[in-house]
Structure 1
């Protein structure tokens, strides 16, 4: 197990949904690779000309009328992937994200542990 895996407290689930990064009036459609209660990993769009000193909004479209929207900060950038940590998420988006993660985690005790950790931060 790598050092990075040891530090991860929130399980990531593989998930594919139409996703967009926004920063001011700029928009980047991205491929969602995975997400957790605390962040998401996406393919790096081309061109990638964002202001890395500013936060982003990530919008994950689960359905025509259902979406998860969170304010995120870029935490790591690779040649083909971008990793973001969630700074803020509204109650409705958190409810959708919670349900999505819950459906994809086989262990309900793991879900409760992650929620406790998220609340305690």
Structure 2
């Protein structure tokens, strides 16, 4: 598991996510456990066939799917109960919604700014 995850606060958050593999596997309404500026953790679907380092399109559904945070994410870690995704690519609208979500739930503006700075300073993978 990468050390970079400790730079980002995990926010417990009840939501669903759709996880779509490039080769066609689709996992709908996966239960989100937590989110961060750098990714998310979901409950492992029963029929999961993904592997570490696989890339998926992840849609985080907010407000009854009225807001969708879309990202391309890599499987960073997984166990029998959960799957952790590291965000690889996210559009401006989605990062704006994700930042706002974290901001509303973090309750520490200074910590949010430090995490945003860390995110911007990270080298590309």
Q: Is TM-score (shorter-chain normalized) higher than 0.5? A: yes
Between the aligned partners of 1:41 and 1:65, the Cα distance in structure 2 is 21
Name the TM-score, length of structure 1 as normaliser: 0.89
- Would the alpha carbon gap of residues 110 and 97 (structure 1) be closer, same or farther in structure 2, given more than 3 Å must change? same
Q: 1:16 aligns with which of 14, 17, 20?
A: 14
CA RMSD of aligned residues (A): 1.9
1:17 alignment partner, SS class: strand
- How many residues of Structure 1 are paired with residues of Structure 2 in the alignment? 118
| Aligned counterpart, 2:80 | 79
Moved over 2 A (4+): 4-7, 50-54
Matches within 5 A, 1:1-121: 8-24=6-22, 25-29=24-28, 30-50=30-50, 52=52, 54-63=54-63, 64-121=65-122
Using the size of structure 2 for normalisation, the TM-score is 0.86
Q: Work out the CA distance in 2 between the residues paired with 1:6 and 1:92.
A: 24
Deviations 1:70-120 (A, max 9, x none): 100001110111111000110000000000000001110000000000111
- Per-residue CA deviation, residues 5-43 of structure 1 (Å, 9 max, x unaligned), is 996010000001121111122211211000100011111
Return 5+ residue gaps in structure 1 as ranges.
none
Q: How far 1:65 moved relative to its partner? A: 2.5
In structure 2, relative to structure 1, the CA distance for the partners of 1:6 and 1:72 (3 Å cut) is closer
